[in-house]
Amino acid sequence: MGAATEDPELWAFLASRHRGEILSGTIAAIERFGVFVALDDGPDHPIFPGVGFISIPELSWRRFEAASDVVQVGQRVSCTFLQFDTWNGEARLSLKATQPDPFQEFADNVRAGRRLRGQVTKLVPFGAFVQVAEGIEGLVPLQELTSTPVATPQEVVATGDEVTVTVTDVDRERRRLFLSRRQA
């Protein structure tokens, strides 16, 4: 069993938390696999730098390279409680759940057929990603890059290029935006 089972105060504290509850604390440590949060309320953790833990995907809606791009050690945070990790004896937290999802805000104002300007951010074998708003990227599939068939996106665009695209689909549930350069 994990360390929490040997610490009745910690176990009782974590077992009394509810999903969706807001917990506040201070960033205690940043690791490559996530961030430890020393919670304001409750006991200290017997092993880890904090009882709260935010996994990398729960840090932000926006794309980032390192956790330190989002938070700093010593920074105060308020997070949503997701679940009690009974093995590690920690409160799994989400920082992004306390913030509006920029994709949903974007989707409220955009429909298929809308023309947008954006910058090519990444080329992949099946197309190109284009940033059309702060934190919002969409995929232009290979067949939608140009009216003449190409084998690779590098034949028609490069990272950093400014392009005009047309929205072809907005998938709110999966948070995906599909674009066409051919239809623009």
Question: What's the whole-number mean pLDDT along residues 73-86?
Answer: 97
What value does the CA radius of gyration of the chain take, rounded to a whole number of Å?
21
- Predicted confidence band of residue 1 (pLDDT cuts 50, 70, 90): very low
| pTM flag (> 0.85) | no
SS3 content of the chain, % helix, strand, coil (to 5): 20, 40, 40
Given a cut of 50, whether residue 111 has pLDDT beyond it is: yes
Instruction: Give the number of C-alpha atoms closer than 13 A to the C-alpha of residue 44, restricted to the C-beta side.
Output: 5
Distance, CA of 138 to CA of 130 (rounded, Å): 5
Given a cut of 60, whether residue 115 has pLDDT beyond it is: yes
For 62, the token pair is 């926006």
> What's the mean per-residue pLDDT of the chain?
94
User: What pLDDT sits at residue 135?
Assistant: 85
For 183, the token pair is 């239809």
Contact criterion met (CB below 8 Å) for 129 and 176: no
Task: With H, G, I as helix, E, B as strand and everything else as coil, classify residue 137.
Answer: strand
Contact criterion met (CB below 8 Å) for 28 and 49: yes
